[in-house]
């Protein structure tokens, strides 16, 4: 049958085209003209425009893309077009996709119901899974994976999911990743895969079969080759967080047959990287502290607290009785060009949004007892900051120099003394793809009634010997304000 549609491109060129679609050849052919508005307001016309698309009917794992070209007359040129097929007519495989045989390291969360605020399983899965993942195999870091196209449908109790993902070597700044997330990078030069499968309600896992997408994608035939569909993928939502693993989504990729061996080697783990979502319900997630790390933090706390006066009575330091903003803070220093820190857990309570999910009984053990040392409060934090490159030497002329900055992150846990305002933690510092878990962070919070400027002082110190190649000189910083004054990010549960 005939069709008449209007097409608009971001480059402010609009098209009016007429044509036909053939279900036999799967070809959509349309002709017409294009119009572009120039800067001076005048219109430029492009006659003799031809649109040729191959539209799969129905799309499937082996044939998931709409492909073709747009050709114009003088001045317009030719554009190659590729798009992940929309619509609900997708044909899922008749075979039920197998999940990973290896059980997750930590148990999965209780139910899909806990993953969001409404009753739609598809909205939960789409919201949580469309993110970036850190891939690793045997401790080695691999290209990052970004799931940037996803469709989900339900058929009774069954939940079907299909997705498109890019494997990219881009390890740039979070700002660059956010840019690409907005743009939903599609068919970049690195590897890409398409996948489909189902949510296994018994195992509480998403089970997918994935296929490599050879580039460039041709417009004359299905994009996926059968021998490239030997990749298995599973994703789940961990019920336990630790200092080193605070991902909302975890997963595995493996060779389900020898067909996928060109892309996947062995069992690969996946951990989501977008871990600061205020909309994520974490009330059913438990945090497991590392006893060795807490012991190390307590030892350093005792060294620091010697001579520090204990103040009893009306808690002049933050005591967590109000909001998370009491302990979230911005910080900077000579070697830190802006950062932010926010608590992930306080005691045994996972933070949700800006307020604590706890009742008054939770705080009973933090109350000072006369002539007795109060119990220290276990806490965990995430700290993110920018800093100059390693071995950077501060120039003598600070008015005329240029240097790039690097994003860094510390995941830490330790103890807090509400009567002295001392926070002491040991953590893992991530930088340039490596992780150093011998890092000490201490903060001395200012008294709430202090007239001194700032919120407190702190230092990041290496616990390694000076001869160790990972040793770094201590970094001092000053902290400011709480969440109410933070302009870039509101503290949220996550790591």
pLDDT beyond 60 at 489? no
* Vertex 209: Cα angle to 24 and 254 (nearest 5): 145
Contact of 310 with 422, CB cutoff 8 Å? no
pLDDT beyond 80 at 144? yes
Q: Is the dihedral of CA 350, 353, 355, 360 positive or negative?
A: negative
pLDDT score of 317? 67
Contact of 328 with 455, CB cutoff 8 Å? no
Cα–Cα distance for residue pair 353/335, rounded to 1 Å: 30
Closest CA to 187 of 277, 64, 273: 64
Contact of 432 with 407, CB cutoff 8 Å? no
Cα–Cα distance for residue pair 55/404, rounded to 1 Å: 46
User: Residue length, the chain?
Assistant: 495
Closest CA to 243 of 382, 142, 422: 382
* Vertex 287: Cα angle to 285 and 289 (nearest 5): 170
pLDDT score of 274? 64
Where is mean pLDDT largest: 225-239, 314-328, 384-398?
Answer: 225-239
User: Which residues fall within 8 angstroms of residue 95, CB to CB, at 6 or more apart?
Assistant: none
Contact of 232 with 253, CB cutoff 8 Å? yes
Cis amide linkage into residue 58, ω under 30° from 0? yes
The SS3 assignment for 483 reads helix
pLDDT tens, residue by residue, 424-460: 999 999 877 678 999 999 999 877 665 555 578 999 9
Cα atoms found within 13 Å of the Cα of residue 271, Cβ hemisphere only: 20
Rg of the chain over all Cα atoms, to the nearest angstrom? 27
pLDDT level of residue 221 (50, 70, 90 thresholds): low
pLDDT tens, residue by residue, 168-218: 776 544 444 444 444 455 665 667 899 999 988 888 889 999 988 877 676
Q: What is the pTM of this model?
A: 0.78
Q: Is the dihedral of CA 463, 346, 246, 170 positive or negative?
A: negative
Q: What is the DSSP letter of 327?
A: T
């Amino acid at each position: 049958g005939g069709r008449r549609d209007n097409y608009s491109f971001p480059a402010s060129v609009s098209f009016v085209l007429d044509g036909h679609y053939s279900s036999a050849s799967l070809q959509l052919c349309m002709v017409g003209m294009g119009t572009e508005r120039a800067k001076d307001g005048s219109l430029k016309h492009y006659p003799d425009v031809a649109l040729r698309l191959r539209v799969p009917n129905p799309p499937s794992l082996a044939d998931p893309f709409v492909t073709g070209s747009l050709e114009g007359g003088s001045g317009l040129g030719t554009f190659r077009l590729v798009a992940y097929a929309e619509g609900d007519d997708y044909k899922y495989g008749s075979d039920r996709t197998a999940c990973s045989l290896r059980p997750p390291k930590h148990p999965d969360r209780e139910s899909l119901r806990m993953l969001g605020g409404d009753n739609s399983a598809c909205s939960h899965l789409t919201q949580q899974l469309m993110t970036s993942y850190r891939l690793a195999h045997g401790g080695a870091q691999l290209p990052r994976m970004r799931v940037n196209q996803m469709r989900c449908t339900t058929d009774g109790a069954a939940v079907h999911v299909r997705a498109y993902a890019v494997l990219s070597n881009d390890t740039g700044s979070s700002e660059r990743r956010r840019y690409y997330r907005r743009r939903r990078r599609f068919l970049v030069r690195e590897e890409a895969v398409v996948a489909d499968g189902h949510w296994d309600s018994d195992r509480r896992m998403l089970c997918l079969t994935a296929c490599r997408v050879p580039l460039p994608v041709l417009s004359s035939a299905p994009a996926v080759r059968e021998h490239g569909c030997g990749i298995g993928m599973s994703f789940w939502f961990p019920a336990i967080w630790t200092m080193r693993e605070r991902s909302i989504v975890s997963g595995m990729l493996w060779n389900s047959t020898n067909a996928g061996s060109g892309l996947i080697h062995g069992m690969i783990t996946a951990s989501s990287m977008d871990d600061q979502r205020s909309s994520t319900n974490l009330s059913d997630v438990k945090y497991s502290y590392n006893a060795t790390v807490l012991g190390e933090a307590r030892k350093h706390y005792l060294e620091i607290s010697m001579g520090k006066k204990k103040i009893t009575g009306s808690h002049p330091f933050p005591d967590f009785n109000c909001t998370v903003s009491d302990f979230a803070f911005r910080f900077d220093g000579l070697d830190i060009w802006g950062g932010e820190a926010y608590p992930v857990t306080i005691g045994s309570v996972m933070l949700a949004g800006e307020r604590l999910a706890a009742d008054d009984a939770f705080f009973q053990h933090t109350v000072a007892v006369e002539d007795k040392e109060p119990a220290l409060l276990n806490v965990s934090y995430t700290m993110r900051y920018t800093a100059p490159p390693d071995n950077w030497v501060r120039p003598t002329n600070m008015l005329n120099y240029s240097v790039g900055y690097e994003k860094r992150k510390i995941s830490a846990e330790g103890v807090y003394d509400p009567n002295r305002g001392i926070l002491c933690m040991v953590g893992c510092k991530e930088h340039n793809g490596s992780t150093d878990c011998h890092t000490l962070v201490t903060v001395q919070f200012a008294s709430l009634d202090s007239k001194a400027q700032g919120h407190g002082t702190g230092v990041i110190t290496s616990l390694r010997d000076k001869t160790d190649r990972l040793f770094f000189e201590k970094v001092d910083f000053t902290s400011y304000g709480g969440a109410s004054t933070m302009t870039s990010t509101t503290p949220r549960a996550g790591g």
